[in-house]
């Protein structure tokens, strides 16, 4: 099996669909010898902010001298990004080798695993073979029934911001969604809640009490001296002064605060993490397509804001960096998102919108999205290709001035980056 065949096997329609539940993952991992039981985890659930959390946390732990596995989704440019050891993607040949070994177990199962469940199993065996000291494990969707929740006793459970997303699976209220996220809380394992909503906190507190799990809350009041520029973000946190992250966005200091709170809990659990590892780890953090400056001339930003709260955070960031300046927006999203509300939030910062359809069966047609913006009295145009949408936005930027920002589903960014590199080669 070569790399192309491996990716086709993983992505084939045979695995399509999302079927919450742990039985298939448990069955597959048992056939594989339960590699997850030989690993230690920091388990991360949430709606927004968990990817940035994983990126910063992994970078700090690597600087602390640990062998660190990182499991995230979805990928931006290449599938291999989903599982990394010390910041390096799984090699093509290793992915093929692991899939060859796991495939007979998959095909012997009466109820076959979903795509995400198969990927999770591959990652667990990869991290075991690499002898990872700790794995930063991001939930795919929800928590309680997410396939990552097969792990028994993480050293820390983290629940980042909660918002309405995947409502067909997780529920249509914050309380219901929070309850699903709280499903990762394990008996006696410390849990950090990063959400500031009282309703959400009450749900997390109840579950933590049921599980006799020590509960902690992120302290965002310790944040001070925040400075935002397109070159990065500076801030202080308690007695840690003049910290720097290259990650942009007004929301990133809070994400960093969540990481710093977690670091203190990990140190209490016995991990040795120096102040220097924290400072350098934050400085070396990278997380693509999250309010990322991709080009400076002209300015092109990419942000995978794929729900209402994500768009609101992106809009707040645009206002912080650009003031009253209107931007040229390139956007694509999924049909199961609250795209009308997302469009309403975007109107105040947009001069015009160039709509595309991400490569997904759930994609909202670009024409339909453009009509929504037109109803809001904003010039909007629909395109059949990502390259055409971006080219039109760049032409508008040259004609009228201003920056370009790409917003929407993370599934569109592989093509976005390819189009940027084609139209504006460095």
Domain coordinates of the chain in residue numbers? 3-283, 292-423
Which has the minimum average pLDDT: 138-142, 270-274, 318-322? 138-142
Looking at the DSSP assignment, which residues form a beta bridge with residue 229? Answer: 232
CATH number of 3-283: 3.40.1190.10
Q: Which residue has the tokens 């203190």?
A: 264
Q: Is residue 273 within 8 Å of 263, Cβ to Cβ?
A: yes
**Would you call 268 exposed, middle or buried from its count of C-beta atoms within 10 A (0-12, 13-18, 19+)?**
exposed
Sign of the dihedral defined by the CA atoms of residues 375, 377, 383, 389, in that order: negative
The overall average pLDDT reported for the chain is 94
C-alpha distances in Å from residue 399, one per residue of 149, 150, 300, 318, 395: 51, 54, 15, 21, 6
Ranking 8-17, 88-97, 242-251 by mean pLDDT, the lowest is 8-17
User: In whole angstroms, what is the distance from residue 118 CA to residue 140 CA?
Assistant: 12
What percentage of residues in the chain have a pLDDT greater than 90? 86
- pLDDT at residue 302 is higher than 70: yes
DSSP string for residues in 40-71: -EEEEE-SBSHHHHHHHHHHHHHHTT--EEEE
Q: Average pLDDT in the 343-363 region?
A: 94
Cα(first)–Cα(last) distance of the chain, in Å?
A: 35
Instruction: State the pLDDT confidence band at 167, using cuts at 50, 70 and 90.
Output: very low
Tokens of 193: 């809640």
Task: Say if CB 196 and CB 80 are below 8 A apart.
Answer: no
CA nearest 416: which of 372, 362, 354?
354
Which of these, 354, 345, 363, 334, lies nearest to 423 by C-alpha position?
354
**Spatial CB neighbours of 184, under 8 Å, sequence gap ≥ 6:** 43, 45, 139, 143, 144, 146, 148, 149, 154, 157, 159
Rounded to whole angstroms, the Cα distance separating 230 from 291 reads 10
d(CA 419, CA 386): 7
Count of C-beta atoms within a 10 Å radius of residue 286? 14
Residue 257 has pLDDT above 60, yes or no: yes
Contact 72, 142 (CB under 8 A): no
pLDDT of 168 reads 46
Task: Give per-residue pLDDT as tens, 375-409.
Answer: 999 999 999 999 999 999 999 999 999 999 999 98
Query: H or E stretch including 303?
Result: strand 299-303
Give the per-residue pLDDT at 422.
96
**In CATH, what is the architecture of 292-423?**
Alpha-Beta Complex (3.90)
Q: Which residue has the higher pLDDT, 119 or 48?
A: 119
Residue with tokens 């499903």: 183
101-147 confidence digits (pLDDT tens): 999 999 999 998 999 999 999 999 999 999 999 999 999 877 899 99
- Residues 191 and 193: their CA atoms lie apart, in Å, by 7
For 50-68, how does the pLDDT look when each residue is reduced to its tens digit (9 = 90+)? 999 999 999 999 999 999 9
Paired sense of beta strands 83-85 and 68-71, if any: antiparallel
């Amino acid at each position: 099996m070569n790399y192309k065949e491996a990716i086709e096997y993983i992505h084939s329609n045979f695995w399509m669909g999302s079927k919450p539940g742990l039985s298939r993952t448990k069955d597959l991992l048992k056939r594989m010898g339960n590699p997850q039981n030989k690993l230690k985890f920091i388990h991360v659930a949430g709606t927004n902010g968990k990817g940035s959390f994983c990126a910063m946390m992994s970078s700090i732990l690597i600087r602390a001298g640990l062998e660190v596995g990182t499991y995230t989704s979805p990928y931006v440019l290449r599938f291999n990004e989903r599982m990394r050891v010390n910041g390096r993607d799984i090699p093509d040949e290793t992915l093929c080798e692991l899939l060859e070994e796991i495939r007979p177990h998959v095909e012997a199962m009466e109820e076959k695993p979903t795509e995400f469940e198969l990927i999770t199993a591959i990652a667990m065996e990869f991290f075991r073979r690499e002898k990872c000291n700790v794995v930063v494990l991001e939930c795919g969707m929800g928590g309680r029934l997410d396939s990552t929740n097969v792990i028994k006793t993480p050293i820390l459970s983290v629940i980042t911001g909660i918002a309405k997303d995947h409502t067909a699976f997780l529920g249509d209220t914050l309380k219901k969604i929070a309850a699903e996220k709280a499903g990762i809380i394990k008996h006696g394992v410390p849990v950090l809640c990063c959400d500031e909503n009282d309703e959400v906190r009450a749900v997390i507190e109840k579950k933590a009490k049921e599980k006799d799990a020590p509960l902690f809350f992120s302290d965002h009041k310790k944040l001070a001296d925040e400075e935002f520029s397109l070159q990065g973000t500076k801030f202080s946190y308690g007695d840690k002064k003049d910290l720097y992250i290259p990650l942009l966005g007004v929301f990133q200091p809070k994400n960093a605060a969540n990481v710093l709170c977690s670091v203190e809990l990990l140190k209490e659990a016995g991990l040795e993490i120096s102040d220097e590892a924290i400072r350098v780890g934050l400085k070396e953090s990278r997380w693509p397509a999250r309010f990322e400056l991709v080009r400076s001339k002209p300015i092109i930003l990419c942000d995978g804001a794929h729900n209402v709260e994500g768009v609101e955070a992106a809009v707040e960031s645009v206002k912080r960096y650009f003031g009253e300046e209107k931007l040229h927006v390139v956007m694509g999203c999924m049909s199961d998102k609250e795209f009308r509300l997302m469009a309403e939030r975007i109107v105040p910062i947009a001069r015009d919108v160039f709509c595309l359809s991400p490569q997904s069966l759930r994609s909202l047609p670009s024409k339909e999205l453009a009509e929504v913006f037109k109803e809001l009295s904003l010039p909007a145009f629909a395109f059949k290709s990502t390259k055409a949408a971006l080219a039109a936005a760049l032409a508008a930027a040259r004609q009228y001035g201003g920056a370009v920002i790409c917003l929407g589903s993370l599934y569109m960014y592989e093509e976005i980056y390819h189009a940027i590199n084609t139209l504006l080669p460095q």
